[in-house]
Structure 1
């Protein structure tokens, strides 16, 4: 293993949950080595730090000899303790370790023992539809027969049966491989800068696959899971939330119907499928119900509450609070779940970090704490490593904040730099150009003329949205620009900060919006 630097060790420690830290401390008591107290001091010191300063760290432990080696040892020991926890013990681990045992027995020429071990592993792999392990295990059958038995005790029917099983396992792996690789290709297309052809490219990928048959309950479980994941992501990228939600529900239902032993193996997929449903729930009510369902099902089931799932639940829950204007609940929730926020901040996923800080900026904007909103942008979202997925809406939000604060001189300077920044990277969408143009006009006009310009721009953007497909409306799920203009035009609170997903987007005409406000006012009176 390469030398473990302090930052790498710190990252690993910060991903540990409370129960994992507790297990680690108990696990280390079994280690009878000199220096145990020292590495635990290093562990405790790094665990308390939000950010690690290498110089301060070296100064803190300057009297420790072999500090670099101690860090290596601590890193390995943490991983070893995690491997020994029930959370990380599963069928895959059993099969991997079994293959290592099989290799050792074979090299020692214990061929009968090797054959017995192989039969045990094959039984487990077949029972759990392990598409990656089955070809390797069938390969081992031929290795052993060729090495030891020389096929002396193999009649033709057994040979043909073994060949058929090996062939089927390869075909299953190829099918799994096809879904997996094309899913990867779709995800890559999302990151591709040339988004104009994304719909056509995605449809080119999926047209080579057969139509989904919800009545077909046969086939390898792992492949069926991968197929539903593939179709779910395809629908999600095309912003077809109803289809995406359908495939997620299909996956949840399929897993529910598995026999108990198989369900134990795929239980993790069940919880993750429930979590995925949150992102395409057809209404806020469904979103709230799905969050409640997954929290109920995972309560106490720490085996399946990995960091990824915990982060997903937190982000969807804060979305619910932001979408309903429950800002007090938002603040209370993140105070209660500081441990999960810490996981996000130290996560290896740039997406989750960027998403968290953007939502935090939205929250500060929602409560009109402009200073903290701008500070969040400057400290976290202005960084060069932040993805444009979150950087662009952050930049537009900064522009809107300057306008609401009536910092028109500052906004004029910002618009020049902002436009230059975007044009260097990729073409602006029409609504983005219209928003920048709108701001340019507003800062030059007296306040009394702002309403007319806002009404005209709103109409132009709303008309434009009727001419494009759902995938091209993605910018609306980061901020509700139409809703913001309505709040400025009609002087009403701006509650709907963004859309949950494009499946629930409905842009009223200016007349419909006005009539709704009049009706709401009459009802209140």
Structure 2
């Protein structure tokens, strides 16, 4: 995957669709000044680049000196955004409200105070209808300015009414801010650390959650207050690995959009993330029937105009849809069949490399590695795990840890015994340093160290002993993550039965044993 360019203009140009590029050129050609002609040349030169190269850019634009480049790029950046604003204003309620607020300001500057106030009334009505309370507050402050500076006689008791409205909106926005902060900080905790690894982690998360949660949850009314409340509970229950409650709150999250469908085009990203978490909850609980239903619903949504006509929505939907498609093969035990998804995923990761955060890329690598492991291709498993292991460790320490553990087991399957003793010590040290060793992992390491000295005929009894020990941990909440990231039980059963691991998982699925 190529390195990300940090040049903002290059990223913006590369994000444009053909229709947007055509619209930009029509927009800028309306002014035929030399500055605009240079901008088109600069635009075309950057559009043709695969990666941003300033030396190449200057070489191909001889009329542009290095000292002028910074200003030329800044001008072009503004012009592109201006052209996009013109064609996208009908799609976003916030852009529409900004435009109406601009009109109210223009009327006020013309001294047409009553017309300005009538425009502000319409904005308030529109903002309330779409739950846009931050705009509502801006409008109220503008109204207070007009009423405080001019005798409009627009209404009796206007001052009291405006003061009451501002107080109500302020209180509600403060509540939304508290809940959104709580949701964001819990999500950030998960991205950095993964799930709670022990009682100490759980106690810390619980203390933070309870300290920041509003005392009276009945106050949490309105779309955004409920959205951030459900998200906060979603992250909290997931970190604690309480998958049943996690499912209930992700369902509440998605149901919000069923109750207020007009919010779907406004907060599409939140809906996409909610569907991702709902699918994740069904996966964790092995609710295969509900998983299938939700996946079909999400796939149908991916074909809607809301997704097709918005780059961000397309990218986010691709990420979460294909993570779920991979998860579906893990549920079914159809690992080899799932490998057919890998070329398309790789193609899209390359296409979207500018936009994707590293966390999502790492998740894809790990799930693809698991596909290859389940299908018995341990060499490919190691290739994808190396992509994660060689990445700088700064997030998702749990993913780093389980990548190393699966990497170790893949080498064990390949009988790379010359490497195994070194790798076992290395992985053990890494996971211990991360304070990430669970009881399940301790047992796995103990088995691996012991197995180096065993003859082939002695392995099966040891596999049986390890399997028996690990099954006692399946109901332990703090051990759950080991079985979610790595189906070690099925792997051990495959070793006992001398069959591929995907066959074991497939038989469990067909026998209904994996259904929640």
Q: Could you tell me the TM-score, scaled by structure 2's length?
A: 0.81
Partner of 1:430: 439
Report the CA distance between 1:389 and its aligned residue. 2.8
Alignment of 1:143-154 (within 5 A): 143-149=145-151, 154=155
Q: How many Å apart are 1:101 and its aligned residue?
A: 4.7
In the alignment, which of 199, 202, 205 is matched to residue 199 of structure 1?
202
Aligned-partner SS, 1:280: helix
1:350 is the counterpart of 2:358: yes
5+ long unaligned stretches in structure 2: 30-35, 507-511
Residue deviations 1:455-474, cap 9 Å, x none? 222333332444x32x5522
* Cα gap change, 1:40 to 1:486, in 2 (>3 Å): same
Shift of 1:105: 5.2
Determine whether 1:489 maps to 2:503: no
Moved more, 163-172 or 416-425: 416-425
Q: Which residue of 2 aligns with 1:454?
A: 463
Distance (Å, rounded) in 1 between the aligned partners of 2:338 and 2:471: 31
Worse overlay, 135-144 or 197-206 = 197-206
Q: Alpha carbon RMSD of aligned pairs, Å?
A: 3.7
Q: CA deviation at 1:315?
A: 1.3
User: 1:346 Cα deviation (Å)?
Assistant: 3.6
Stretch deviating more after TM superposition (382-391 or 485-494):
382-391
- Residues 449, 210 of structure 1: CA spacing in aligned structure 2 closer, same or farther, 3 A cutoff? same
Partner deviation per Cα, 1:111-132 (whole Å, 9 max, x = no partner): 3443233222212112222122
Per-residue Cα deviation, 1:126-180 (whole angstroms, up to 9, x for no partner): 222212222222222211111122x755523x33322221111111112212211
**How has the CA–CA distance of structure 1 residues 446 and 276 changed in structure 2, closer, same or farther, with 3 Å as cutoff?**
same
Please state how far the C-alpha of 1:409 moved relative to its aligned partner.
1.0
Pairwise CA distance, 1:352: 0.4
Residue of 213, 218, 224 corresponding to 1:222? 224
Measured in 1, the distance between the counterparts of 2:168 and 2:503 equals 53
For residues 37-436 of structure 1, the aligned pairs below 5 Å read: 37-46=41-50, 52=51, 54=53, 57=56, 61=60, 63=62, 65-66=64-65, 68-69=69-70, 71-72=73-74, 75-76=77-78, 79-80=81-82, 82-86=84-88, 89-103=91-105, 106=108, 111-149=113-151, 154-156=155-157, 158-191=158-191, 195-196=197-198, 197-204=200-207, 205-206=209-210, 208-209=213-214, 219-258=221-260, 265=266, 269-270=270-271, 272-281=273-282, 282=285, 283-301=287-305, 302-303=308-309, 305-327=313-335, 329-336=337-344, 340-342=348-350, 345-385=353-393, 387-436=396-445
Relative distance call for 1:9 and 1:451 in structure 2 (3 A) is farther
Instruction: Kindly provide the CA deviation profile for residues 362-400 of structure 1, in whole angstroms up to 9, marking residues without a partner as x.
Output: 222233333332222334542114632321111111101
1:491 Cα offset (Å): 1.6
- Deviation string 1:64-95 (CA, Å, 9 cap, x unpaired) is 73474465555555544554454983111222
The structural deviation recorded for 1:293 is 1.1
Distance 1:449 1:10 in 2: 61
Tell me how far apart the structure 1 counterparts of residues 275 and 177 of structure 2 sit (CA, whole Å): 24
Query: For structure 1, which runs of at least 5 residues remain unmatched after alignment?
Result: 47-51, 500-504, 508-525
Aligned partners of 1:480 and 1:496 also within 8 Å: no
- Would the alpha carbon gap of residues 380 and 406 (structure 1) be closer, same or farther in structure 2, given more than 3 Å must change? same
TM-score (norm 1): 0.79
Name the structure 1 match of 2:32.
none
**Are 2:234 and 2:246, in contact at CA under 8 Å, matched by a contact in 1?**
yes
Tell me, yes or no, if the aligned pair for 2:104 and 2:120 is still in contact at 8 Å. Answer: yes
Tell me, yes or no, if the aligned pair for 1:82 and 1:88 is still in contact at 8 Å.
Answer: no
- Following the alignment from structure 2 to structure 1, what is the Cα–Cα distance between the partners of residues 388 and 216? 44
Aligned-partner Cα distance in 2 for 1:363–1:14: 32
1:122 and 1:139 mapped to 2: Cα distance? 12
